[in-house]
Structure 1
Amino acid sequence: MKFFNVKTVEETFSLIDEKISKINGTETCPLKEALHRVLAEDITAKENVPAFDRSTVDGYAVFARDTYGSSESMPGFLTAAGEVEMGEEAVFPLSRGNAIYVPTGGMLPPNSDSVLMIEHCEDIGGLLNTYRQVAPGENVIRAGEDIKAGETILKAGTKLRPQEIGALASLGVREVPVYRKITAAYLSTGDEIVPYETESLETGQVRDINFLTVAGLADEWGIDVIYGGITADEYGEFSERARELYERADCLILSGGSSVGAKDYTTEVIQSLGEPGVFVHGISIKPGKPTILAVADGKPVIGLPGHPASAMIIFRLFGERILKRLKGEDTGSRPERIYARITKNIASSPGRSDYIRVRLTETEGEWWAEPIIGKSGLITTLVKSDGIVEINSAKEGISQGDYVPVILST
């Protein structure tokens, strides 16, 4: 077996898309509990939204052509012929030369084609003075303009955000088919690692903070995480603990032991879990080169670097995509980015993608990204940052004032 044959960032994303498949298993979930779940089937609208023509403003339903030529200096005149109350069906059609008051969201009278805002007219004893002309369709939403009956409103693989929940509620949907929730298991490795609750450290010891940062990100993505504790750099114990956690979860995350040191058993342990095994060992990236990605009998295994900033950046870039694909979520493009201007020159090595932590500031309406320079073991560089700038492998660096893509911290 040949390991530590580094892949580019693009190759790594392609391999993730090729190797990671969605989980088996779906369930029906009440809509009120479906936030952040992933749809397992397309949802087709069974009715129009809105169900009737309605006004978007408080005003008078009119024929648009009856208002043509109206202005402040030369108003037009219509007959105020009644009103439609909120929640009331508009039964009587509108006649030419008349206007009927309709509240925001109210049903339009048949035949009317627009609504004149109340601010632009005045009812004087039943005579409506119109101070502005309107166009056909102005201030009106037609039946089915938002959602049409028979339309596929949401596709399988859609993560349900509050706006999707609202759209489904507007259709009277009470429950939805979703992929089952997935669980990841986490195990830290290293003779020097001790629980984060350890009050007093002995010489050479390091608190296990990676679990909390990694599990925190996973929680934001809707993943439950089992904490497997800490294992020493000893193959037998490491292998046994990893196997136990692997059996309990849909994805196994290992932190530390991903490089090529004499006591780094992560690759061997992962290979022992199942076929086909490791498909990435080493990514041409800084920080986070010694990253391991694998599939063992259908389950993803992620080997993160031990350094906190490296682990968090790698998990944000690649762990999120792996877990989203596993959940059945449509991964679409790479992590969302905004563009900002860099405040200083940053050198980079061609052939390697660099990810620089930055603080964002707004100056004269533009976003600027200020690099926070620090080694991969410094967690405070992430605390101080608002995101990370990507310098792709084709570049030899970026110059002050260049627009750069920034992946925002979640």
Structure 2
Amino acid sequence: MQFFKVKTVEETFALIEENIPAIEQTVVRELGDALNHILAASLVAKENVPSFDRSTVDGYAVRAKDTYGSSESMPGFLNVAGEVKMGEVPTAVVGHGTAVYVPTGGMMPKGSDSVIMIEHCEDVDGLLNTYKQIAPGENVIRAGEDIKTGEILLEAGTKLRPQELGALASLGIAQVPVFRKLKVGYLSSGDEIVPYQTPALVEGQIRDINYLTIAGLANEWNVDVVYGGIVRDDFEEFRERARELYEQVDCLILSGGSSVGAKDYTTDVIQSLGDPGVFVHGISIKPGKPTILAMANGKPVIGLPGHPASAMIIFKLFGERILRKLKGEKPLRKPERIFAKITKNIPSSMGRADYIRVRIFEKEGEWWAEPIIGKSGLITTLVKSDGIVEISSEKEGVSQGEYVPVIPSR
């Protein structure tokens, strides 16, 4: 099996968007149990938030024009006409020349249009000295200013983070429709691979660490993982084990055997699972060129390189994109990035995207990225790195001190 036409990173992203469908099954979850799930339907606000005009500070509700001209050297004077208690509708009314004390979050009394902060005034036996003029609406949140009745609060495909849960709770929403949780299967291949728990290795053996690293990333993305174990380099056994695991999950991940060696059966195994089959076999990227992406009867299949660093980088770049699409999550144009200065020159080849493991540190108020040089199979480069620098296929490298995009580790 030879490589198909190698795809660029951007072509691969486009093919993922084109080929990977979202799952259709949804469930209703209690809001408190919906963290990191994907909203399956847009939610419309059925009430205003806040439901009343409220103060954002401790101070006095006033008519703003009654404070005009107030200053430290020439204060204004207002009569205190009462106070607002939390959780109660105020009975006091603000008229010309009067003020009512209101705590943070308290309801604005009728007649008032702004709040002067307690730091800028002084209550002297019921006479309020104002030392600053304020504008209408200052220190006030109007009813519906945060969320308006009839407004689409959250669109379908939104990941429910803590802040989204808080917004829904403010509207009294206790249950939400979400896409069901994904289940992916992971299967390692190779005569040299043994369980990671193996205490002592025979010469030539390698512990299966990729399962833990790939499963760990999937778990971070709120995806369950079914471990299919390790399969020998035997085509029939590989195909049977892959088929058995494929039937149980929404996405199948195969590690190892994605290259072009005599015993690399992964492509043929993937093709046997169903149509339309492989749509990417080889990406113009370093590390991770021998990557396979496929669709088999509606389920995505990912063939990862065997080297640990390559497998993690590929799964972070493309596996996360595939799982986000499958979960029904709104697409991101690119993985989240920060920008840092590179500590040394790094050469690269035009036409190939390079991803370099780096240590991120702060120096004199700026972020710097120090390359961790090592071959793709070296495990220690993973442990030492805080992220990966992206050198696009249009560049011939980066120069010391140049700002570079960094995809940080979580």
Q: TM-score range by the shorter chain?
A: over 0.9
TM-score by length of 2: 0.99
- AA aligned to 1:202 is V
Return the offset for 1:132: 1.2
Within 2, Cα distance between the matches of 1:258 and 1:371? 27
Identity value in percent: 74
**Which residue matches 2:223?**
223
> What residue in structure 1 maps to residue 311 of structure 2?
311
Q: Secondary structure at the match of 1:248?
A: coil
Q: Quick one: distance in 1 between partners of 2:242 and 2:98?
A: 78
Residue in structure 1 matched with residue 63 of structure 2 by the alignment:
63
Per the TM alignment, residue 105 of structure 1 is displaced from its structure 2 partner at its CA by 0.3
CA distance in structure 2 between the partners assigned to 1:5 and 1:310 by the alignment: 20
Instruction: Verify the 8 A CA contact 2:92 2:100 in the aligned structure 1.
Output: no
Partner of 1:407: 407
Separation in 2, partners of 1:386, 1:74: 57
Residue 332 of structure 1 and its aligned partner are, at CA, apart by 2.3
Q: Could you tell me how far apart the structure 2 residues matched to 1:67 and 1:175 are?
A: 47
Amino acid at match of 1:102: V
Which residue does the alignment assign to 2:153? Answer: 153
Given that 1:361 and 1:369 are in contact with CA atoms closer than 8 Å, whether structure 2 keeps it comes out as yes
For 1:18 and 1:3, the matched residues in 2 are separated by 21
Contact 1:258 1:303 in 2 (8 A): yes
1:377 aligns with 2:377: yes
TM-score normalised by length of structure 1: 0.99
Tell me the distance in 2 between the aligned counterparts of 1:122 and 1:370: 56
**Matched residue SS, 2:389:** strand
* 3-state SS of 1:359 partner: strand
Which amino acid in structure 1 is aligned with residue 64 of structure 2? A
Distance 1:258 1:332 in 2: 27
- The answer for the alignment partner of 1:90 in structure 2 is 90
| CA distance, structure 2, for counterparts of residue 404 and residue 113 of structure 1 | 49
What code does the residue aligned with 1:392 have? S
CA contact (8 A) 1:39 1:155 kept: yes
Counterpart position of 2:263 = 263
Does the Cα contact within 8 Å between 2:57 and 2:117 map onto a contact in 1?
yes
What is aligned with 1:36? 36
1:257/1:305 contact within 8 Å kept: yes
Deviation, 1:14, is 0.3
- Per the alignment, residue 123 of structure 1 pairs with 123
Is the counterpart of residue 357 in structure 1 residue 357 in structure 2?
Answer: yes
Aligned to 1:9: 9
**Counterpart for residue 50 of structure 1:** 50
Preserved contact between residue 4 and residue 290 of structure 1 (Cα < 8 Å): no
Cα-to-partner distance string for 1:136-178 (whole Å, 9 max, x where unaligned)? 1111000000000000010000000000000000000010011
- Judge conservation of contact 2:82–2:92 (CA < 8 Å) in 1: no
Q: Which runs of 5+ in 1 are unaligned?
A: none
Aligned-pair distance for 1:4? 3.4
Partner of 2:23: 23
Instruction: Give the match for residue 187 of structure 1.
Output: 187
Counterpart of 1:164 in structure 2: which amino acid?
A: E
Whole-Å Cα distance in 2 between the matches of residues 195 and 387 of structure 1? 27
Deviates more, 1:208-217 or 1:363-372: 363-372
Amino acid in structure 1 at the alignment position of 2:153: I
Structure 1: distance between partners of 2:195 and 2:393:
37
Match of 1:141 in 2: 141
Equivalent residues in 2 for 1:162-177 (5 A)?
A: 162-177=162-177
Q: Secondary structure at the match of 1:129?
A: strand
- Report the aligned-residue RMSD: 0.9
CA distance in 2, matches of 1:276, 1:123: 77
What does the per-residue CA deviation read over 1:85-126, in whole Å, with 9 as the maximum and x for residues that have no partner?
Answer: 011112443101000000000000112111011111111110
Residue identity matched to 1:235 = F
Contact residue 354 and residue 393 of structure 2 kept, 8 A: yes
Whether the 8 Å contact between 2:81 and 2:92 is mirrored in structure 1 is no
The residue aligned with 1:75 is: 75
Counterpart amino acid of residue 230 in structure 2: I
359-368 or 265-274, larger mean C-alpha shift: 359-368
Q: Is 2:2–2:260's contact at 8 Å kept on the other side of the alignment?
A: no
The alpha-carbon deviation at position 2 of structure 1 amounts to 6.5
